[in-house]
Every structure is written in C-alpha cells, then in structure tokens.
Amino acid sequence: MEVLSVISYTSSFLTVLYVVVVIGFIRGWHKLVFFKPKDAVLTTKVSILVAARNEAENISKTIEDLLAQHYDKQLTEIIFIDDHSTDQTAEIIGSYSSRGVKLIKLNEDRALNSYKKKAIQTAIAGAGGSLIITTDADCRMGPNWLKTIVSFYEEKKYKMISSPVSYFEEKSFFERAQTLEFLYLIGLGASTIGNKKPSTCNGANLAYERDAFYEVDGFKGIDDLASGDDELLLHKMAARYEGNIGFLKNEDAVVYTHPKATLKEFIQQRKRWASKSTRYKNKSIIVLGVCVWLFNLSILVNVGLGLFIGFYFKLALVQLLAKMIVEFAFLYDVTSFARRKNLLVMLPVLNVMHILYIVYIGIAGNSGKYNWKDRMVK
C-alpha cells in the first residue's frame, strides 16, 4: 500500500507542477510585445542560408518567395547548400543563378551525422552578411518576412532572433492535429524567451549575428549530432549573451511549412528533434523535461491502476482535466496569434494522443537510430 500512496502523492505533485509550468508559459507569452516595425531605412547586410536535400518538388516556391522579399537587393544574399541531393534540387537552384541565388554543393566523402550543420557552417564561412538567417527548402514566407526580421534586429540589437513557424495546407485530421501540437511547441519556445530562459526554437526561421556564431564557436561540441543546428545553438548563445535572445511576435515574420503526411514520417521527425535533449547542458531544462515526461507517464500508470482500484482512474481523469484546461488557456493565446483558433476543438482528442506520444518519444528519441532525409542516423 505504501507504493500506491507514493504513486498518488507523486502524481498529485507532478500535476500541480505541470499546471504551474504551463501558467509560466502563459506569462512568458504575454511578456512578448507584438512588434510594430518603424518606418526607417534599414542598412543590415543579410545572408539567407538554406540547406537542401532532395527538395525538387518544393524548392522553386521557396526561392521565388525569397526573391520576392521587400528588402534592398543590394543588402540581400541568398545561399542554398545542396546536401548531396539525388534528384533535380541542385539543377533547379542553379537555374536561378542569373537572379543572384548562390549555390554551394556540399562535398563530403565521409559519412557524417551532422550534414545540415556542415552545410550551414560551410555557407557561413563564405557569407557576406553580418546577420545570418536560416530557413528550410520547403518553407514559404510573405514578402515582408525579411524586412520585419531586420527591423526587429536593428531596433532590439538581439544576438539571436527566433521567429514563428506554422504548418499550413493540411489535408487530414492527422495533419491538423500536428498543426495544433506544433503551435504548442512554437508557443513554448517563445514563452521561455519571454521569461528570459530560452529553451527551444526552430531553424526554419532563425536569425543570428555572424560574429556571435563564431564567438560561441559555432557548432563545435554539437557537430556530431544530426539535429540541434537551432536549439543547441540557442543554448550556446543564451549562455554567452544572457538577455540578448529575442522572439519576433509579428504575423509578417511567420514562415509556413507542411506537416508530415504519415505517422511514420512524423515519428521519425520527432525522434530526431527529441535526440537533441541528450546534449542539453542547462540542468533546469533537463529537469523540466523529465518532470513533464513523468507527469504524462503518471497519467498512464494511474489509468492502468484504475482498472483495479477506482480511485486511481479518478486521479487520472483529474490529471487529464487539469492538463486540458491549462493547455487550452495557453493555446488560446498562441492560436489567436496564428489565426488558427478553430483547431482548439481538437484539443480533447489530442490531449489523450499527446500523452502516449510524449511517453514514447521521450524513450525512443534518446535511444536507437532514426531515418532522416533518406539517411539512417543516430
């Protein structure tokens, strides 16, 4: 019976802790002021870097969006790095050379785990811009995207700027569910920046000073991991430049990409993202992640015990209800910003699915291998 008492008290503690943590996210989100660009002449030379592998189907749209930016062309450098594509990606990029798009072909004859970091690092070495902006080869952005980022940078002088990413053009319930879950992750990252404790960001919409990249030794120490060109770099920047990380809360700064079409692709992507946690150096982030994982695990444990003892099933329901209420409050703000409040009707179903997903990914993402861009990495 003592074991059961420990489980009930621990579950209650983890539930209260989770509620407090998400309330902290809500506070952090509200600390972020909506950015309104000033009508000023912008002078920053920018290098936009895009690592691409087998993106022939999407890459033309991304290039056209980048070329359509309302920013001084003399201050804009667009560099694509072809990562050993086996389709027509390099040829498509090369066809835009007359319009100023530069192509670097990654030429590595030895196997790497960190091709994307190698691609970005190679491009930065030859980039002429003082501000580096990374995005992905399947992303879309509006014409004011670049101008908004540079305006924010010149006004705030942040060393690194995380900007919003959202899914769009969903074709199924599964893809819409991913959008809601992804908005939670984007909001979480933004809120931690709002609370001056940066934890996560997304490399599909990330900007940082070229000099700052070299000041923190770039990807040194994390260059053997396939993922982490964004989040682990953020941790290095935050440690070196405390209080100099910003989140750009503006609709024009949003970059759009597509959710994964199949469960297999989704799991592989999330395993890759979760694998970064093995290199976290900030103990508070590690402890927080473990507590969130234990909270979700405790719900499953209580459901199992509830099959034999009714009290634990009721405890699981209370936990689930608390999770749902506090996440609704957080996501209401984030989805309002993204203009996707209609997705909130999916929250009850997503909550149950999310518990299973968190517990599984917490284990799978920190062990074994996964497939990424037709490569098996670990």
In this structure, which CATH number among 3.40.109.10, 3.30.70.260, 1.10.287.3510, 3.90.550.10 belongs to the domain 34-277?
Answer: 3.90.550.10
Spatial distance between the Cα atoms of 144 and 129, rounded to a whole number of angstroms? 19
Q: What is the pLDDT of residues 110-140, one digit of tens each?
A: 655 577 888 999 999 999 999 999 999 999 9
User: What does the pLDDT look like over 343-360, one tens digit per residue?
Assistant: 999 999 888 888 999 999
Q: What share of the chain has pLDDT > 70, as a percent? A: 94
Q: Are 204 and 255 in contact (CB under 8 A)?
A: yes
Residue-wise pLDDT tens digits, 77-102: 999 999 989 999 999 999 999 999 99
Please state, in angstroms and rounded to a whole number, the distance separating the CA atoms of residues 375 and 80: 20
For 291-330, the pLDDT digits (tens) are 999 999 999 999 999 999 999 999 999 999 999 999 999 9
Tokens (6 digits) for 174: 């599964």
3-state secondary structure 21-63: HHHHHHHHHHHCCCCCCCCCCCCCCEEEEEEECCCCCCHHHHH
pLDDT at 225: 72
Contact 162, 234 (CB under 8 A): yes
- For residue range 132-167, what is the model confidence (pLDDT) as tens digits? 999 999 999 999 999 999 999 999 999 999 999 999
